[in-house]
Amino acid sequence: MLSRVMTFYSESKRLTEVVESLRADLPPAYEALPGFRGLLVLEKPGTRNHVIALTLWDDEQGVEASEALADTIADRIAAATGTSVTRNIYTVMGKIGISERNDEESG
Tens-place pLDDT, residues 21-67: 777 778 888 989 999 998 888 889 888 889 899 999 999 999 999 99
Tens-place pLDDT, residues 66-81: 999 999 999 988 888 8
Cα separations in angstroms, 85 against 1, 40, 44, 67, 103: 23, 16, 16, 14, 35
User: What pLDDT sits at residue 80?
Assistant: 82
Environment class of 48 (CB within 10 Å of its CB; exposed 0-12, middle 13-18, buried 19+): middle
User: What pLDDT sits at residue 101?
Assistant: 63
CATH number of this structure's domain 2-93: 3.30.70.100
pLDDT at 90 over 60: yes
pTM recorded for the entire structure: 0.82
